[in-house]
Amino acid sequence: MNPKPYSNPYLVGVLLGVTLLASYLILGAGLGASAAIARVGALCESIVAPAHTLASQYFGAYGDQPLRYYLVFMLAGVFGGGLLSALLADRCAIRVERGARCSSLKRLCLALFGGLIVGFASRLANGCTSGQALSGSALLLTGSLLFLVSVFAGGYLTAWFVRRQWYD
């Protein structure tokens, strides 16, 4: 079955904006995704080295139950919402998305390395595209707007070097 076409990007943007607004008015905080990943990281590290993790300066502040955090539940919701929407639009298929001249291995290596960098950078900037670029910019916060601009600057500077993984 052919997947259904994507929705009107502007209307989806309105839905996303209203969701963000609801998050601020109900929770008192914006959307976020990378914090949940960091907390999974803290959990993983505490399984391997519990005493070291609790004593570490950064993860130590999460306490001994790092997953008891609202953004962890939010990311679980994102996964659920994504699955629901993808199933309804017939867009579920197990595969590696890549350009014709890029091997799966190369694409996965880049994904792993990119993930590593993004995980690190999100902690440094205290948020990712969701928490800083989207939520912070909507409040017109100086730091978040600078983050948004920096993300695009970093992206455009790097894009030429990895163009082969999607486009030929």
Partner 1 sequence: MINTFFNSGTLDSAGAFFASLLIGLAFGVALERAGFSSSRRLAGIFYFRDMAVLKVMFTAVIVAMLGLSYAKAFGWVTTENVYFLHTLYAAQILGGLIFGAGFVMGGWCPGTAAVGVASGKIDALIFLLGAVGGSILYNELYPMVAPLTAADRGVVFGFESLGVSEAGFAFVFTLIAVGCFWGAEAIEKMRNGVEGYWNSRFLKVFSALLVVGAFGLFVVQTRPVPVQSPATQEQALLTGMQEGVDHIEVQELADRLLGGDPALVLVDIRTPAEFGTFHIRTALNLQAADLPAALVPHKNQGVIVLYSNGMTHPAQARDSLARLGFNNVYQLTDGLQGFLDTCLKPISLRDEPVSPVQAAKIRAWRAFFLSTPPPVTVPTTPSAQEAASLTPEVEAEWLAQNFSRPDVKRIDLRPQQDYNGGHVPGAISLNIESLRGCINGIHSMLLPATILAEHFSLMGIRPEDTVVAIWDDKQQDATLVGMACERLGHRRFAVLRGGFAKWQREKRPVDTLLPVVTPSHYPVPEKPDSFTVGAKEVLAAMGKTGIVILDVRPVDFFTGKKRDEARGGHIPGAINRPYTDDMEKGAGFTALKSATDLSAIYGKLIPSKESPVILHCRTGHQASQTYFVLTRLLGYTNIRWYDAGWTEWAARPELPVASESR
**20, 31 contact by CB (below 8 A):** yes
Supply the minimum distance, in Å, between the C-beta of residue 133 and partner 1. Answer: 7
Classified as helix, coil or strand, 6 is coil
Supply the minimum distance, in Å, between the C-beta of residue 135 and partner 1. Answer: 7
How far apart, in whole angstroms, are the C-alpha atoms of residue 35 and residue 33? 6
**138, 29 contact by CB (below 8 A):** no
Instruction: Decide whether 44 or 50 has the Cβ nearer to partner 1.
Output: 44
Instruction: Decide whether 101 or 117 has the Cβ nearer to partner 1.
Output: 117
* Lookup result for tokens 């978040």: 144
Cα 52 → chain centroid: 27
Supply the minimum distance, in Å, between the C-beta of residue 59 and partner 1. Answer: 5
State how far the alpha carbon of 37 is from the alpha carbons of 47, 71, 73, 74, 99, in Å.
Answer: 15, 9, 11, 11, 28
Supply the minimum distance, in Å, between the C-beta of residue 50 and partner 1. Answer: 13
Supply the minimum distance, in Å, between the C-beta of residue 71 and partner 1. Answer: 7
Helix axes 104-124, 34-48, angle to 10 degrees: 100
